[in-house]
Amino acid sequence: MRSENLLLPLNKNKKMNYESEKVLSDYLLMHYGEHDQRMPWSFSKLSALDFPAQTVNYFTQKRVALSLDLGCAVGASAFHLSKTSSKVIGIDFSKLFIDTANELKEQGEIPYRFQEEGKHFISATATVPEGSVAENVSFAEGDAMSLPDGFKGFDRVHAANLICRLPEPKKLLDRLPSLVKQGGELVLATPFSWSEEFTQKESIPEGDSWEWLQAALEEHFECVTHADEVFTIRDHVRKFQLGVSKVSLWRRL
């Protein structure tokens, strides 16, 4: 597998939590699994959730030139962005995730397996989403808090479930006005799952996190719409992480 490390230096002090094969298989399943693989139980709409596509669908459907997917993980949202973007750059801190996304881009599909229970695993295939233009997507390792100065003027910026996994989230929020061109679109999704495992204590908001986020963006962005979206990450057939992410679409003023 090939990794493009275009955005050095990385923040070496950040705790690494996404470099295991178990976490990789969990995210491949979340991004590319069949509905009955993600959630085999008949619990309302949970069986049909496709969170990487849901968040991208908050953007308007007009065609644009350049999009950026921050915290792209194993790449599904970046591929979905390519349906309406001439070029997409996907950035993630995890070398394992980026290597996997690049292999999927090159091969079109890759095999993986996920845990059913105990020592029982199920074989599956991750496939580039239908309608995507894989050759228009590039993936690279990078730190969302330390992006190169040349990164600016994107038509769309997407960051799903990233903010509360950054040591200093305000660094990214302060950079967003230069990342998004005037009139461009920003989609943020976050469950505000603050933890000192990921975020420095002094960087965790004191009060309501949604109010904190609005205050950080309101000078340069107009909130077009926002809603609460459920997502799941499967651990095994009888254990799941269930989260509710605040997803918001913003227009750069």
pLDDT (0 to 100) of residue 95: 94
Segment among 37-51, 91-105, 229-243 with least mean pLDDT = 37-51
Mean pLDDT of 82-93: 98
Mean pLDDT of 233-248: 89
pLDDT (0 to 100) of residue 130: 96
In contact, 171 and 237? CB cutoff 8 Å:
no
Give the number of other CB atoms < 10 A from CB of residue 252: 22
pLDDT surpassing 50 at residue 114: yes
Give the mean pLDDT of the chain: 90
pLDDT (0 to 100) of residue 40: 78
- pLDDT digit string, tens, across residues 11-20: 444 444 666 7
In contact, 103 and 127? CB cutoff 8 Å:
no
Radius of gyration of the chain (CA): 17
Confirm whether pTM is higher than 0.85.
Answer: yes
In contact, 86 and 73? CB cutoff 8 Å:
no
pLDDT surpassing 70 at residue 191: yes
Q: DSSP letters along the chain, please?
A: ------SPSP-TTS---S-SHHHHHHHHHHHH--HHHH--S--GGGGG--HHHHHHTTS--S-EEEEEEET-TTSHHHHHHTTTEEEEEEEES-HHHHHHHHHHHHHSEEEEEEEEETTEEEEEEEEPPTT--GGGEEEEE--TTS--TT---EEEEEEES-GGGSSSHHHHHHHHHHHEEEEEEEEEEE-----TTTS-GGGS-SS-HHHHHHHHHTTTEEEEEEEEEEEEEEEETTEEEEEEEEEEEEEE-
Per-residue pLDDT band for 164 (boundaries 50, 70, 90) equals very high
pLDDT (0 to 100) of residue 46: 62
Residue-range domain boundaries for the chain: 21-252
pLDDT (0 to 100) of residue 29: 87
pLDDT (0 to 100) of residue 18: 63
pLDDT surpassing 50 at residue 214: yes
Amino acid letter at 240? F
Cα separation, 212 vs 189, whole angstroms: 14
In contact, 79 and 32? CB cutoff 8 Å:
no
pLDDT (0 to 100) of residue 15: 42
Mean pLDDT of 35-43: 75
In contact, 47 and 41? CB cutoff 8 Å:
yes
User: What CATH superfamily is the domain 21-252?
Assistant: Vaccinia Virus protein VP39 (3.40.50.150)
